């Protein structure tokens, strides 16, 4: 389970369980209230081809669209939806895979985008260090039982998510950023170069350009060069890239794309993160009960009005993919 997997729950589309990073495997799910989101899946272990371990890796992207901050979340297994939901038990053969203290990020983790918090690795030598920090940041995860796990606070060090932003922000609350499209390709993510700091009222630039328009990492957290406006940030980038001509990205990409200035947009990846885990239905009797429910719930500091969103997904992996939007976020 450290490498290739036999089965997965993922977004619909052309991607495969063992496809490369950023190939669109993760299904995107946004929390619009603190009520439960119930995803119901058909399951027939008789259709599995041999050899097959019977385990399902879940590729999930989880966003906060509640217009308020959230403090955490839980994910559990059961049956039925809404008021008819019942928890899975220790005797029904359905459970999460518990990797214990040896869990690797590709087995059991909850991580914000590496473009914001993360460093180069051996298998990703060409990636930039995270904009805010070279250290990964996300939610600690804790098993409550074999059918339930939940977040247990944020981690990330001096410039981690919690240190910079506190609790989990909603899309409507994330700061703006200034983005640079280094390849001119609207299908790929533009790169975050600066962010607006609400506390100081300044634009802070943690990345810069060399003379040829290549991206340099110069600072982390809120330690970068400070500017009074986004226009000042843009002028600084143009001046830094002395050997190239930078202009605003066109609405219609040219036949021969070139690097361009994508401008200001919300840093959406501060409102969502990747969740990775495995479901084990190997001992589950699908002849008696051929569906199961994956229930996700969010926590808030203040308890709002309860609500339940029930979403029926017939079969595995039919949810919409998380699509890239160039110039507006950092993956």
- Spell out the residues 6+ positions from residue 11 whose beta carbon is closer than 8 angstroms to its own: 24, 25, 26, 27, 28, 59, 317, 319, 320, 321, 322
Residue 285 has pLDDT above 90, yes or no: no
The mean pLDDT of 248-255, rounded to a whole number, is 88
Q: Which residue has the higher pLDDT, 44 or 303?
A: 44
pLDDT of residue 216: 95
Q: What is the mean pLDDT of the chain?
A: 87
Which of 59, 61, 50, 63 is closest to 19 using CA atoms?
59
Q: Which residue has the higher pLDDT, 177 or 253?
A: 177
């Amino acid at each position: 389970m450290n490498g290739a997997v036999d089965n997965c729950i993922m977004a619909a589309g052309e991607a495969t369980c063992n496809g490369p990073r950023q190939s669109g495997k993760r299904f995107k799910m946004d929390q619009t209230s603190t009520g439960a989101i119930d995803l119901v899946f058909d399951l027939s272990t008789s259709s599995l081809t041999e050899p097959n371990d019977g385990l399902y890796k879940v590729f999930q992207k989880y966003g906060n669209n509640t217009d308020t901050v959230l403090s955490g979340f839980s994910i559990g297994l059961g049956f039925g939806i809404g008021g008819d939901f019942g928890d899975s038990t220790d005797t029904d053969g359905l459970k999460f895979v518990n990797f214990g203290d040896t869990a690797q990020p590709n087995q059991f983790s909850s991580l914000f985008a590496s473009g914001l918090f993360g460093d180069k690795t051996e298998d990703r030598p060409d990636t930039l260090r995270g904009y805010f920090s070279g250290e990964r940041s996300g939610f600690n995860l804790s098993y409550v039982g074999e059918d339930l796990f939940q977040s247990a606070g944020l981690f990330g060090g001096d410039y981690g998510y919690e240190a910079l932003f506190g609790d989990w922000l909603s899309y409507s609350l994330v700061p703006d950023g200034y983005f640079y499209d280094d390849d001119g390709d609207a299908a790929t993510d533009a790169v975050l170069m600066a962010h607006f700091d609400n506390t100081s009222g300044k634009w802070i630039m943690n990345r810069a350009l060399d003379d040829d328009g290549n991206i340099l990492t110069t600072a982390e957290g809120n330690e970068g060069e400070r500017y009074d406006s986004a226009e000042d940030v843009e002028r600084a980038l143009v001046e830094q890239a002395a050997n190239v001509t930078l202009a605003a990205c066109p609405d219609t990409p040219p036949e021969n794309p070139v690097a361009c200035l994508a401008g200001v947009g919300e840093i959406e990846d501060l409102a969502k993160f990747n969740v990775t885990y495995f479901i084990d239905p190997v001992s589950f009797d699908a002849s008696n009960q051929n569906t199961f429910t994956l229930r996700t719930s969010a926590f808030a500091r203040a308890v709002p009005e309860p609500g339940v969103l029930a979403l029926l997904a017939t079969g595995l992996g039919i949810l919409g993919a998380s699509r890239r939007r160039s110039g507006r976020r950092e993956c």
